[in-house]
Amino acid sequence: MFRIAPSILSADFARLGEEVRDVVASGADWIHFDVMDNHYVPNLTVGPLVCEAIRPHTSAPIDVHLMVKPVDRIIPDFARAGANVITFHPEASDHVDRSLALIREHGCQAGLVFNPATPLHHLDHVMERIDVVLLMSVNPGFGGQKFIPGTLAKLRETRARLDAYERESGRHILLEVDGGVKVDNIGEIARAGADTFVAGSAVFGAASPTDPHRYDSVIAAL
Ligand code: DX5
Ligand code: ZN
């Protein structure tokens, strides 16, 4: 089963609640929520207050992608704000195992995010703490960048690793991809092993010409 997770980074922030309702009504499965701190990444976005503000607008899972350092002190705030999934970058946490455990203790699904140059060995020893692996297919910080082709080989390697883990443990871990996902490349990204697709500019840049509140055609095409 595939999931489409529109990134609200490319939405109209002046009418975020409506944008969230519109993409979910148009077929989105998750809402991807990009948190940037102008420290770990060179951009500044939104925090738990905004997550809390959109929570009543949808029952779809909110997928919080933390691009912040440090990680731990913001986790409980996002859990209280209604996040369902919380992912972070291993380089941004001094104690990856502890951060993963903290996310689950607060009732959320936990995941690690891999930048294009971050090796997969960060998965070693923590697989049982992970519900989602998120591979970045751009360098984090901005929407609207071009998909880095080397991600396809990394996706295949990750897929093999997660499949092997599932055979031995019976646990299914989601494989999400983030950055430059478009209608014309999502097929090969899926064939490389991803099952959950973040798409920001592709979705919010493609409202129906006749109804600016509908994103059906692009979400269906994805
Ligand atoms: C980038 C963010 C992405 C971004 C994706 O740092 O993590 O979620 O919004 O945007 P597109 O789909 O436009 O590349
Ligand atoms: Zn993201």
What residue ranges define each of the domains in the chain, with the CATH number in brackets?
3-221 (3.20.20.70)
| Whole-angstrom distance, CA of residue 154 vs CA of residue 184 | 19
Is 144 known to sit in a ligand binding site? Answer: yes
Assigned token pair, 135:
């591979």
Q: Which atom of ligand 1 is nearest to the CA of 147?
A: 14
| Whole-angstrom distance, CA of residue 171 vs CA of residue 22 | 33
Task: State which residues have CB under 5 angstroms from ligand 2, the bound ion.
Answer: 34, 65, 178
Instruction: Compute CA distances 186 → 78, 92, 196, whole Å.
Output: 29, 29, 10
pLDDT number for residue 1: 87
Residue 143 C-beta-side C-alpha neighbours within 13 Å: 21
pTM over 0.95: yes
* Residues with Cβ within 8 Å of residue 209, at least 6 apart in sequence: none
User: Quick one: residue 154, left, alpha or beta (phi over 0 = left, psi -120 to 50 = alpha)?
Assistant: alpha
Is 37 an annotated catalytic residue? no
Q: How far is the CA of 98 from the centre of ligand 1 (A)?
A: 27
- Report whether 155 contacts 176 (CB < 8 A): no
> Reduced to 3 DSSP states, what percent helix, strand and coil does the chain have, rounded to the nearest 5?
40, 20, 40
Task: Say how far residue 184 (Cα) sits from the centre of its chain.
Answer: 20
The burial class, CB within 10 Å (0-12 / 13-18 / 19+), for 3 is middle
**pLDDT (tens place) for every residue of the chain, 222 residues total:** 899 999 999 999 999 999 999 999 999 999 999 999 999 999 999 999 999 999 999 999 999 999 999 999 999 999 999 999 999 999 999 999 999 999 999 999 999 999 999 999 999 999 999 999 999 999 999 999 999 999 999 999 999 999 999 999 999 999 999 999 999 999 999 999 999 999 999 999 999 999 999 999 999 999
Catalytic residue among 22, 29, 34, 63: 34
Question: What is Dmax (Cα atoms) for the chain?
Answer: 51
Q: How far is the CA of 128 from the centre of ligand 2 (A)?
A: 23
Question: What residue ranges in 58-178 does DSSP mark as E strands?
Answer: 62-67, 85-88, 109-114, 132-136, 174-178
